[in-house]
Amino acid sequence: MALLNKGTERLLSRDKRFAKLYAQMLVKGEINWELLGKVYRPDDKNPEWKAKRTVRRQVIQELTNQELNNIYLNKGIDANKVIDEELLLLDSAKANDDRRIWLDVVRNWRDSLSLKGQTASVTQSIELKGDLSHLLPVKQELKQLNDASSTPESNKE
């Protein structure tokens, strides 16, 4: 592994501090953008904007996810525990015939498994044979309706 220079170490340390504080704020449900910005760059003139921009960086997102995992693990929460709790909730929802909760659990699983938005589409082509002249009057009538609806009412008189 290559040695980091002092500037890179300082930047990584600043990123880690920012990510740790951001993760703690996410867990509490209250984000103080001003404080986050001042932690990241104390001399910045617009710390709130800087914090919101910094959160978008890939390295910050990865560090924040690591910190969140550490926080949850320290509290005894892991993927298995979450799944066990959701299974209990699902069993309770089924026993009480509560479809809203059941649907919420299924949606959570779908989202976590990245199944959201995946749909199957089926297309079918139909081959028409024979005399289709009986459809011509219908086509002409549709054309007349379209022409009538596209002309302004003032021009009809």
Q: What is the pLDDT of residues 115-154, one digit of tens each?
A: 655 555 556 566 666 666 666 676 677 777 777 766 655 4
pLDDT of residue 34: 95
Q: Where are the domains of the chain?
A: 12-74, 79-112
**Residue at 79: amino acid letter:** A
- pLDDT greater than 70 at residue 46: yes
**pLDDT by residue (tens digit) across 12-40?**
788 999 999 999 999 999 999 999 999 99
pTM: 0.54
Q: What is the pLDDT of residue 97?
A: 87
Q: What is the pLDDT of residue 121?
A: 55
Q: Which residue has the tokens 């589409």?
A: 121
Task: State mean pLDDT over 42-56.
Answer: 93
The pLDDT value recorded for residue 1 is: 42
What lies within 8 Å, CB to CB, of 50 at 6+ separation is 37, 40, 41, 44
AA letter at 68: L
Q: What is the pLDDT of residue 130?
A: 67
CB atoms within 10 A of CB 66: 14
The closest of 3, 72, 44, 73 to 18, measured between CA atoms, is: 44
